[in-house]
Amino acid sequence: MGEQSGELGGLPGIFAEICDGDQRWFGTAGVADTATGRKRSPQDRFRIGSISKTFVATVMLQLTAEGRLSLDDTVERWLPGVVRGHNHDGSQVTIRMLLNHTSGIFSCTDDQEALNRHETHSPELPVQIAMAHPATFVPGSDWAYSNTNYVVAGMIIERVGGRALADEITERITRPLGLTGTYLPHGSDPRIHGPHSRHYTKLFRTEPDAPGPRRDRVRLHHVLGGGGMISSLNDLNQFFGALLGGRILPPDQQRDMFTTVPTHRWISNATYGLGVSSVTLPGGETIWGRGGALFGSWSYTYGTRDGKHMTTVNVNGDWVNSGWDDPIGIFTDLLQRKFSRLRDT
């Protein structure tokens, strides 16, 4: 395990953990708190954004394996009348379409103005906001990233399982794997419990005259199953290592999860499965995992298809000052160096 410090891209701080079998390496640069200069530590927790979707998809596939639902079930079967209006039709949208973003359901986070009118958000509210907009396309005819898909998926899990989504994730994933730093907050609690860095945001503005960063006080619980979870570097490497390595899902559900569809207007050279994606790096290596981006926190967790080699990286800001268009550029460079060296060994 090693450590380095420095400054990268004008962000407050970055840290990463690389796992090769039983060997781990931790590295950090910048700070966890710009006021105190405190460094980021391996134990720090952070908001993982859309990496939450992998946990939700995993729970859904476990329910499928238990025969409690089918990926070909429609949304209407489990949530009658919820997905309806402006050409949305839950009787034409399957659970599989939710999980691989081929549903055509409008993304609720594309209407931040409507979301920000409310202090707290029930699971139903983001869906209602989405239903006030036209569907993006006919279900199954195209691909478009939509956070509403996973809000709806979370609602179905709660309906089928009979308990809160947070409890399903705890009982099925985090507790069995010993992921002590990973959880979906209950209710409207916006805090990160346990050790963590400050999260700083410019509200995704990248222009040179964008206002300076401020501490993140944005309420994030509205994204629920779409992006509300909190985790740590080692927890994410453990989870994805087990998932990629086939130690969480039965073979049929593993095959479903990693059956991908093409994407566009998203991450370059990526395909999307059920809550996971593959990314082909500039050097030709294909890695598997998930990324997450929200106010003040961007993260990537990717590794080899067998789960034996994993890398998780997080920055506690949502901008870069030079050299890259956004933090994904930093992550891609890091992953390229890691996995090209693995290829050459």
Q: Which residues are catalytic?
A: 50
CA-to-CA separations, 30 to 225, 303, 325, in angstroms, rounded: 30, 25, 19
- The alpha carbons of the chain give a radius of gyration, in whole angstroms, of 19
Strand locations in the chain (E): 13-20, 23-30, 45-47, 84-85, 88-89, 200-201, 214-215, 230-232, 261-262, 270-272, 277-280, 286-294, 297-303, 309-315
Burial bucket for residue 228 (CB in 10 Å: 0-12, 13-18, 19+): buried
| Biggest CA pair distance of the chain | 55
Is residue 196 within 8 A of residue 181, CB to CB? The reply is: no
Give dist(CA 110, CA 234) in Å, integer: 32
- Taking a C-beta distance cutoff of 8 angstroms, is the pair 30, 8 a contact? yes
Distance (Å, rounded) from C-alpha 126 to C-alpha 201?
22
Interatomic CA distance for residues 307 and 309, integer angstroms: 6
Residues 6 or more apart whose Cβ sits within 8 Å of residue 33:
197, 198
Residue 313 has phi, psi (to 5 degrees) of: -140, 145
Residues 6+ apart with CB under 8 A from 18: 24, 25, 27, 309, 310, 311, 338
Alpha helices (H) in 89-171, listed in sequence order? 95-100, 112-115, 124-131, 147-161, 165-169
Q: How far apart are CA 331 and CA 164, in angstroms?
A: 33
